[in-house]
Each structure stands twice: as structure tokens, then as C-alpha cells.
Structure 1
Amino acid sequence: MNALPYPPELLRDVARRRTFAIISHPDAGKTTLTEKLLLFGGAIQLAGTVKARKSARHATSDWMEVEKQRGISVTSSVMQFEYQEHVVNLLDTPGHEDFSEDTYRVLTAVDAAVMVIDAAKGVEAQTIKLLEVCRMRNTPIITFVNKFDREVREPFELLEEIEAVLGIECAPITWPIGMGKTFRGVYHLREDSLLRFAPGEEKRSEAEKLDGIDNPLLAAQFPLEVGKLREDVELLRDASSPFNLDDFLAGRQTPVFFGSGINNFGVQEILQALLDWAPAPLERDGGARQVQPAEPAFTGFVFKIQANMDPRHRDRIAFFRVCSGRYSSGMKVKHVRLDREIKLANALTFMANERVLMEDAVAGDIIGIHNHGQLHIGDTLTEGETLGFKGIPYFSPELFRQARLRDPLKSKQLQKGLQELGEEGAIQVFENLASGALLLGAIGQLQFEVVAQRLQTEYKVDAIFEAADIYTARWLTFPDETTRRNFEREQQHRMGRDVDGNIVYLASTRYNLDVTREKWSKVGFHASREHGQILG
């Protein structure tokens, strides 16, 4: 960071921020860990249970009706709380792979991540994909190996798999003693103390801590386990990598914790590691230059749009990561894409779907901005400077469907619903230029199911999604207007626009795409939306 005279209050407030996401394969216990972090952070008084969907309580971060019914997270929630003089911004992400795009975008807004691994299953497919996205930005990763209250795999085997499959060095911080019914606790290798497992307790007391691997109380209390524990600790100290903060911050090494999220065990250690080791907000690539977090000028970007968080108000909220400066209510900022000034008033902070008016926010904070269609995913706001924060992904869908109404009189509601759901990134929506047909693009089948349910509950539209004759979509760029006009004239039946007006080519087959690219070699066919051009 260069030595500009940054405001000392801003430097202090930025240094207090920790902004992180929790990532995992479905069912590894991510939503449970999210809740327990909030519980230990004092943000909530009562944890819901993820499995007990028949009860009146649901996981705090799962607020959408479909999530309550299915017991999965399909949106990303943002939660802020204070803990030990820090301000913690926790972003829960969808675990289901069909919603991976939403997770990828959330990962652009954080400075660190907690990776949850099911100790019975080890490294799973979605974990691999998510770690690859984190690696693109060298995001520091803390690993929590969960579910040691059950019969699971041997911890040494799990460490070897993490290193081999994910290509990241493991530095064990805690080590489990037993598993399932014989789970006794974990040994903290850095503090040289044993933390005894007491199922279900909300806070760990000092009485549950035994110092020293040679402490005679260990042998007295755990006569069957102490021998293996001492062997494991000796082996770990000789053979495993010691924790190195620089390697962690560079994304090369992950500190590993073992525990049981559902029983609150190991959660405090994760929270402490985030405060002690995870970085405060870092500089960001603003396109024209690197933006420092303690710069006085306000900047940031939209990484998510959510419609109808409160169905009574039919609202739309833009989730905005502050990258520098300080938000204050009523401030005027430049909307870079539209090149005009807008006023930011009544921004929100979140506790899942509970919202509180935000009076003050600095780099690292996530604020919610009431959005009437002017803000899109990837938009940058500044105090006058023309910047564009990089790396908000939008990939070509893998599945396509055509929307057909059961009631033709509801076409306006369908149009509005799909426009809003497309803008928030729940699904990709394309309009065929020749026929006007609305096409939906998704990563996985579950996205279509969720969109159908949301159309019904939020927009009172009953739609059927039928297979579409589309292989893939490619966003187009043209070298000049003449090429553009000629291409549009010849290929109009295969052209469309997305919800933001970017022009796309809708290929029917792989062969069709290859032939068209070969014929129009000067036209750019892009698999990601950042390259698109607005259709005039």
C-alpha cells in the first residue's frame, strides 16, 4: 500500500473488518456451521436446525420458501456481526452445484473462505470446483473437517486426500481424539492443550481444557486414547507442515481444524483463526488502477441482485461490496456503466432476511441498495472516477428451456418475472430476436425448478419449461459496424439478447457453432458475458 495520508479513522475501521464466505459440497454441514458461527458471535440466540424442516424453525441463512421446503441453500445470504472488536461479514453460499454461478460471484466479494469437508466423504466434486475459483484470486482458505461426532475416515487419510486432490498444503491446527461415540475432543497443536468434547454446549469453558501432551490428567481421563494421541502428535510435529501465515495469505497453505459443527465443537477456533489470520480488506483491481481500501473516495461493485426478499414489498436489493472509502446515507455516487449520478439512501445491512438500515460502511462491508432496475451484477459505483472492478463471472449455460404459459393472458407477468430473475442471476434469460421467444439458460435442472416455483409464488405465473433447440450461447463482439450488420442480417434467427441487452449467438449444435465461427473469423464468440456488446 503506498504511503498516502489515509484518514486514521478509516484505516482503523478497515483493519477491523473480516469478510469471508463458507464453501462446501452439499450436505457437508455448511449452513449448520454458518449458524453456529453466528451463535458464537452473539448474532443470534437460538439456532434453527437444518434437518428439522417440519418444525417452525429453519436455518437462519435459508430464508427463501423453496429452501425451507427442500432443506438446501439456493441463494447466498449475507450476515454481519461484531466479535472481539472486529466486524465480521459472513457470506453463506449455495451448496448445490446447480447454483454454482451465484457462489462464484460471491467469492469475488470476499477476502477469505472457510472450506467445510464432510469427514466421512472427504473431498467432493463441488469442493474441487469452488477451490479452483478461490485459487483464481489466491483467496486464503481455512479448512474445517466436520462431523467427527460420527464414524468417519481417519484424519491422516483425509489430510493426504486434501493435499493430493486440491493441491494445497495442509497445516493441522487441531487434531481429533477418536470419532463417533468415542470422540473425546481435539488437541490444539499450537496451544499444546486438549479441548474436551462436550456435546451441545453453546460455549466451551476453560474447565474443558487440559494443557500439555504429557499432562498426567490426560492419561487418567483418557486411558484408552492417550497413547495413540501422543503418537499422532509426535508424527504431526515431525512430518506435517507448520502453519505459515505468508503461505496461507497467498492461498498455498490451509490451516486445518477438526470438529463437529452440529455440536458447536471447533467453531470458536474457526472464528478465532479468522480474526487472527484472515486478511483485512485488500486492494482491488479497478481496471484503470489498483484501489486501496483506506482511500477516502467511496468505490465498490454489485455482485448479486435479489428480488422479493420481502414478498410484501416486492423489493429488489443489490448486494454491494464496498472496496474503499466510507458509505454515508444520502451520498451521491457515479454509476459508471450508465455514466450518471445516483443517490444512495437507506442502504441495508443483513442478518439473512432481517435487515437493518446501515448508517456507516467501509471497505469489506456488504451493503444492500434498493434497486429499481438501474443496478446490474458487475456494476461499479464511485465518487466520480471511471473504474471497473474485474472478475465478476457470468458463464454460458449448459441447459436451455423455452418458457410456455399455461394461461396466455399472463404474458406480461411472465416477462416481468423472468426479467427480474434474470437480472438477479437466478437464471439466464435470452430473447430470440427473430421470434421473440424467451429462452432460459441454467447450469443444472434444479435452477429451472426453483424458477418455476418462484414464478408461481412471487409473480402468480404458471409456466412450463420445454426443451429448446439450443446447444450453447456465445456473447459476440464485432470489429466494426459493417461486419455487425452483415452478421445480423444472415444469422438473425440464431441471435438473441440477454437481460442486460448484450448480444448473443444461440448455436443449435457444436457443428453449427464451429461452422459459423469459421465463416465469421473476425467476430468474437465468447463463453463469458464480460466480453459482450450491447445490442443497439
Structure 2
Amino acid sequence: MKAWGGFQGLTAAAKLLGVSAQQQQSELAAFCWARAQLGGAVQQLTNLRTFAALPERVEDSSQQQGTTRNIGISAHIDSGKTTLTERILFYTNRIHAIHEVRGKDGVGAKMDFMDLEREKGITIQSAATYCQWKDTNINIIDTPGHVDFTVEVERALRVLDGAILVLCAVGGVQSQSITVDRQMRRYGIPRLCFVNKLDRSGADPFKVIAQAQAKLALNAAPLQIPLGLEERHSGLIDLLTMKAYSFDGAHGQDISVVPMTADQQQLAESKRADLIERVAEADDELSEMFLMEQPIDAGTLSEAIRRATLSLKFVPILMGSAYKNKGVQPLLDAVTAYLPAPEDTNYTALDADKEEEPLPLTSGRDGPLVALAFKLEEGRYGQLTYMRIYSGTLRKGDSITNSSTMKKLKVPRLVRISANELEDIQEAEAGDIVAIFGMECSSGDTFTDGSGRYSMTSMNVPDPVMSLALLPKSRDSGGKMSRALSRFLKEDPTFKVSVDGESSQTIISGMGELHLEVYVERMRREYDVDCEVGAPRVNYREAITQRTNFDYLHKKQSGGQGQYGRVIGYMEPLEEGNKGVEFVNEMVGNAIPPAYMPSCEKGFLEAANTGNLIGHPVEGIRIAVTDGAAHAVDSSELAFKLACLYAFRDAYSKAKPVILEPIMNVEIRAPTEFQGTIIGDVNRRKGLIQNSEAEGEDVVVEAQVPLSDMFGYSTGLRSMTQGKGEFTMEYARHASIPSEKQSQLAATYRSSR
């Protein structure tokens, strides 16, 4: 097969030179004879030439590229993102002492600067920082791993050029790893994988790589293999240079070349061959060299990896142990070598003056200013607005225009951010991530220099799935609570606030128990507001299951001008997966004057906000008006709006409505001895087991469970597993509930009214 691959390469070259098919065939016998005679010698010579040409160290192939990298670090919870960021800051001299996420010194990691983050040992808010590695400036955003704070990952990835996906060498590809990978694909972000925690008991990086290839469908291969695992982990073998490196010193800062054993050399050669083959699948230049069996040196391979990574066809995998200070410096080299600079990324704005025509942006300081406000934060000196500059230059004192409101604003103070520390700067240019104080705007607003009405595309914001009722304990706390909720609304697009029309309670909605718990605690600490918290409410939805017609006449006459409006049409469920509410005008003629059609649409949409069963919004429905009638004197916009509202309520009950509840993807990890207890509890909670498999000494159970049955699960799981179990939960879909539960909820709703 190798001989045939080589001949195919020659055939392709012959075609380019115009050699006929007959001539090609006549050469086949001679080629095969020569290849058979010289096969062993050629292979030996190829190996000698390949490794003799390798440099001592791969030169940074990005030196001719831009000198800025904007990267995010994302992963499943407890994969070591924040620990990795702490080491990066140490090796780039941004900090001079290493502190741990759950450190005993009470300091905590640099990027977890909120008191709540340090107490809980988790990242709640994405935190930005910057550093310099060799000649490259790196802007880093450390994102949360908990699914309740997924919007922090969304808005970080929206403005970044590249990312590092951290995978645990023991846990492998977990539920949130899959979610993060999906987010990276959504925004087309090139990424590296870093297999962390090689020092942990049960670490198996090759199993993790196989999971990344299978579960994430990545064309991925390692650039390194470990020198020892678990407590014997001491360093890495670089498959490009074929050299082994150890990381010594108090903080792994002393890197030295160490000899390899014969077994290690053999494994490295095998993995290097696999790496070349995987990259060749994604890069035409390397593919040609691979088919022609030409020697591939480290520089050539590095350039091919960069091209394949930027084209999203290949994902390099690096590895190490951030906690044990191993493998972080090569990861920084890989960031500069393989991830894109702003100049390598094609960004597009929408020109509002030309019907949102796409406008390619050149990432240069001389272009028109286009900057996106992607995150808001309330600081000591007012609102802090995080901005990514896509084009042009932003200077302190400049007047810039908000494309959403067309208001001109002055830049009073421009800063770079390093966690909770700020550094004043005079200007920033395309590719930079900076912050501005004292600017009133919303998350997602685009700013320009006034040369045009440009806007960047918005990010994906998931709907909240859980609600809580809040009541301040003291009367004078109402104003403070309003200020706190107003601030949180600006900061977090997934956080919603409403007032219950019947009970007048303030309702907050979010992505889960932890999400809402954090905001209630922040109100207490930052605004001195103690609240009584009502029982969690599930955000149910309603839907219809069959088509039904309506013909409703709204007629009212009580002296003076009356009200008259008649609407005829039908309502039907939309195709599966469509959650919207569609209004369709199928009128033939003007039985209803066109001026009243907007009122009809408004009436139907308003009615769909409150279903008849339990008062929750209706989704997945199409409402069509086919006919109607109007009165020359008594018809009005109000009359037709009321006619549509009543027509909806009348027809809705005949369309066999159902209640939909949120179903959650739940992943539970605990010691194998508790497997039976966990599965039994999931079944008791009306969950459906999707998968159950052993990973080392643990079992991982994947299930789909109704959200209403998951309240208080963290406490239940701790008691079932002696505190050794953990779980993550993510919204999957809405699904209809059993008829007996529907009757119970509907009866409760009617009695409360």
C-alpha cells in the first residue's frame, strides 16, 4: 500500500505534466520493482534524514504572524482551568507567587477574586487578564466550568480568536466539555486541547484523546506524550523535536533535556507517525509530502499544524499537570505557534445603513473603529464595560458612537484588566481587549467612531429554566433590592426579573439553583439586603396538540361608539423543535381593514403569553387569520385586539393543550459502590438513564430528569454517597408531562386564582 501511495503521488505529478495514461501504466512495473528492491534502505534513509534534520527546539512559527493572541480557557468544572491560568501568569511574570484555588493560605487564585469564588472553590464570573510570553502579548479570559454560568463562556468565546479546551486526564470528556466544544464550534474558534492532571491516580491521557476523537468528533492528535503517569509523572516527550523534557525546580521553571529509554523512543516514533498522518488528512501540503514519503522535519510539521488548526480541520493536544507545574511552558509555545492572531481571523460587521449588508473588517489600527461591549460589571468607580476592538484605534478622550442608540459618548478612562487590578492606558488598537469606565450601555452594543452604523452579530443566550420568589425582610430594603436587581440584569443576559401580577412578588429567573443562590448571596453581601426566598418554580411552557378553528365576534354596545370586531381562522402546532409563536395573515380581500391587522397580531401574541392551563407562555403555535368582519363606525384597533384575545382563549381549550416541563441532562460521578443507589434514586425522580459506565474507580451515570424532580439533589447526592458524589446539570429540552401531573398543576392554578 505504501508503494501504491507513492505511485499515486507520481501519477498526480505526471498528470500535471501532461503524461498520458498509457505511459503511466508502462512505468508501474519498473516503479514497483525499484520500490521492492530499495524499500528497506529507503525507509532507513528516510528515518535518518527526518530526525537528523530536526532542530534542537521548534522555532515559533508565529513570528511572522501577529504578536497578539486573544484566548479563552474553558472546560468542565474541576478540570483545572483556574490553576492553569495561575501558572501561566506566574511563568509570564504577571504574578510572583502561586496560590491555589482552595489554598490553605487564605489568598486563593489570582483570577478567583470574588469572596464567593474563594469560599466555594469555583469560578463564577469570567475574569480577564493579559500577559506576555516571549514576543507575544496574550489576552486571557478564564471562564466558569459550572453549567449555571454558561453565558460567561458564551460571551467570552464570542470575542476571542482562539481557545484552550482543558480535559481532565482522569474524568476525560465530560458533559460540560461537550457543551463548551459546541460553543466553540458555534463561533468557529480554533482551539488546543490540554489534558491536565497527569499526576492524578487513574490518569490515562490516551483514553482521553480517544474520547475527544469519538465523543467530540475531533480530528485531534497529541503533540506530546508523558514521561510517567500519576506519582511518577516527571515530564513530556515532544513529538516534533523527538526530545524528552523534565520540569524541575520549586515551580517547574527549570526545563532540561533528559534521555529516553528504548521503549519510550519506540512509542514516540509510533505516535509521531500517527500525528503526521492526522495532520496530513487536514493539510494538502503535508499530505503531498506524506504520500511521496518525503522526510518531514519539525519546522515543516509545525507549519502544517498551524495551517490545519486555523482552518478548524485539526486540534493539537498537549498535556501536563498544572498543579505540579509541568507542561505549561510548552502550552504557551503552542498558543503562540498555532492559535490565530487577530490578523488571521476574518471578522464581519453588519452595515445598518445598507440593510445590514456584511462588511469585512480589516484588523488594523488605521481602519474605522468597531468595538463590541461584551460584558458589563459594576465596579468601585461605576460601570466597567469590557470591550473587544475589531478595527481601528480607541484613545482616552475620544468621542465614540453607540450604534444601537446613536448616542455619542466620551471615553473618560481606558484600562487593561488583570482580574481585579486595572492599569490605565492611553490607547488600544484592533485585537485588544480593554475596559472603559463610566459608559452607559448594554451588553452586546457596538461602538464606532461615527463613520457608519456598524454592528457585530449577537451571541446565543439560553432561556432561564428556574425561578425564585423574593421578598425583602425589611421594608426599607426595597430600594436596595431594586438597585441590585437592576445591576444584575445589566451584567447577566440569562438573569431575568419579573413581578407576579397576582401575588405582586418579585420573581427572579436563571439557569439553575446555584445561579440564583449566588445572586441572592451577592445581594446580602454587596447591598446589605436580606431576602426571604420562596420555593423554586419551574418555568413550564404550554402547547397545543391539534389544529382547531375559531370564529369569534366581539360586539359591545352601551351608548356612544361601540366595539365591533370579528376574526375567523385557525391555530395549529408548529413542527417539532420550533418554539416560536407565528402569526400569519391569510386574508383574501379586506374583510378586516389592513390597518387593524397589527392589532390582531398584538392581541394573539399577548394572549399566547398566558396559557389557559397554568398561566405559563404558549410555544410552538401558528395562528392564522383567514376572514373576518368590521363595522364602519364601531370597529377600532382595541375592538380587534380584544376579539383576537378572546378568540385565542376560546379556541385554545379545544386544541387539546398540554403542559411542557424542562428536562435536564444530568451527569453524576461517584465511587462505583454507590452505583445501584444512584440509579435507584434517578428512577424514583422519574429520570431516564441514558448511559452508565465505569471510569477508573468511579462510575459515571448519564440521565435525563425533569427539573421539578431535581430540587435539593445536591444535598441528596451527598448523603447517598458519603459526600463523594458530584453532578452537573444542563437544560436539554421541554417535554410534555404525564396527564395526572397536568391535572394536578391545572387544579392548583385554578384554585390560586
Q: State whether TM-score is above 0.5.
A: yes
Normalising by structure 2, what TM-score?
Answer: 0.60
Deviates more, 1:354-363 or 1:146-155: 146-155
> Are the aligned partners of 1:183 and 1:197 in contact in 2 as well (CA < 8 Å)?
no
Matched, 1:245 2:317: no
Partner of 1:277: 338
2:560 corresponds in structure 1 to: none
Counterpart Cα distance in 1 of 2:481 and 2:322: 41
Contact in 1 for aligned 2:541/2:619 (Cα 8 Å): no
1: distance between equivalents of 2:152 and 2:583?
29
Could you say which residue in structure 1 is the equivalent of 2:72?
Answer: 21
Q: Which residue of 2 aligns with 1:286?
A: 349
Q: Distance in 2 between matches of 1:520 and 1:481?
A: 17
Query: Residue type of the partner of 2:118?
Result: K
Cα offset for 1:151?
A: 2.3
Matched ranges for 1:333-348 at <5 A: 333-348=400-415
Other structure's SS at 1:448 match: helix
Q: Residues 486, 437 of structure 1: CA spacing in aligned structure 2 closer, same or farther, 3 A cutoff?
A: farther
Alpha-carbon displacement from aligned partner over 1:209-240 (angstroms, at most 9, x marks no partner): 13xxxxxx43xxxxxxx243223213213334
Residue number in structure 2 paired with 1:39: 90
Aligned to 1:81: 131
Q: Measure the CA separation in 1 of the matches of 2:613 and 2:458.
A: 29
1:273-301 per-position Cα deviation (integer Å, ceiling 9, x unaligned): 11122111123221231212114222111
Q: 1:304 aligns with which of 375, 385, 397?
A: 375
- CA deviations on 1:171-203 (whole Å, 9 max, x unpaired) are 211110211122131100112210114374341
For 1:265 and 1:32, the matched residues in 2 are separated by: 12
- Maintained 8 Å contact 1:110/1:364: no
Residues in 2 aligned to 1:469 and 1:171: alpha-carbon distance in whole angstroms: 43
Aligned 1:253-264 pairs, distance under 5 A: 253-264=314-325
Select between 269-278 and 108-117 the one with higher mean Cα deviation. Answer: 269-278
Structure 2 matches for 1:428-439, cutoff 5 A? Answer: 428-432=495-499, 434=501, 437-439=505-507
Worse-matched range after superposition: 152-161 or 248-257: 152-161
What amino acid does structure 2 have at the position aligned with 1:377?
Answer: S
Tell me by how many angstroms 1:324 deviates.
Answer: 0.9
| Alignment check: 8 A CA contact 2:465 2:538 kept | no
Question: CA–CA distance in 2 between the matches of 1:469 and 1:263?
Answer: 43
Give the letter for the 1:471 counterpart.
Y
Distance 1:506 1:265 in 2: 58
Q: Deviations over 1:443-496 (max 9, x none)?
A: 12111111001111111111233334742598989899956655655776875x
Structure number with bigger Rg: 2
Q: 2:156 and 2:391 mapped to 1: Cα distance?
A: 18
Q: Is the 8 A contact 1:429 1:438 kept in 2?
A: no
Match of 1:380 in 2: 446
Residue 323 of structure 2 aligns to a residue whose secondary structure is helix
Residue segments in structure 1 that go unaligned for 5+ positions in a row: 1-11, 211-216, 219-225, 496-504, 524-536
> Secondary structure in 2 aligned to 1:256?
strand
Match of 1:147? 197
Aligned residues between the structures: 482
1:262 alignment partner, SS class: coil
Secondary structure (helix, strand or coil) at the match of 1:518 reads strand
User: Does the aligned pair in 2 maintain the 1:113–1:141 contact within 8 Å?
Assistant: yes
Alignment of 1:291-440 (within 5 A): 291-294=361-364, 295-308=366-379, 310=380, 313=381, 315-371=382-438, 374-384=440-450, 385-425=452-492, 427-432=494-499, 434=501, 437-440=505-508
Partner of 2:573: none
CA distance in 2, matches of 1:510, 1:405: 25
Equivalents in 2 of 1:459, 1:153: separation in Å?
44
- More moved, 470-479 vs 233-242: 470-479
- Which runs of structure 1 show a deviation greater than 6 angstroms over 4 or more consecutive aligned residues? 473-481, 505-511, 520-523
Task: Tell me, yes or no, if the aligned pair for 1:318 and 1:368 is still in contact at 8 Å.
Answer: yes
> Of Structure 1 and Structure 2, which has the larger fraction of its residues in helix?
2
Deviations 1:361-386 (A, max 9, x none): 112211112245x2111100001111
Match of 1:518 in 2: 622
8 Å Cα contact 2:71/2:161 also seen in 1: yes
Find the aligned partners of 1:187 and 1:359 in 2 and give their Cα distance: 44
Residue 234 (structure 1) aligns with = 269
Distance 1:115 1:518, change over 3 A: same
1:441 equivalent to 2:483? Answer no
Root-mean-square deviation (Å) = 3.0
| 8 Å Cα contact 1:111-1:139 kept in structure 2 | yes
**What's the TM-score, normalizing by structure 1?**
0.83
- Structure number with the bigger relative contact order (C-alpha 8 A, sep ≥ 6) is 1
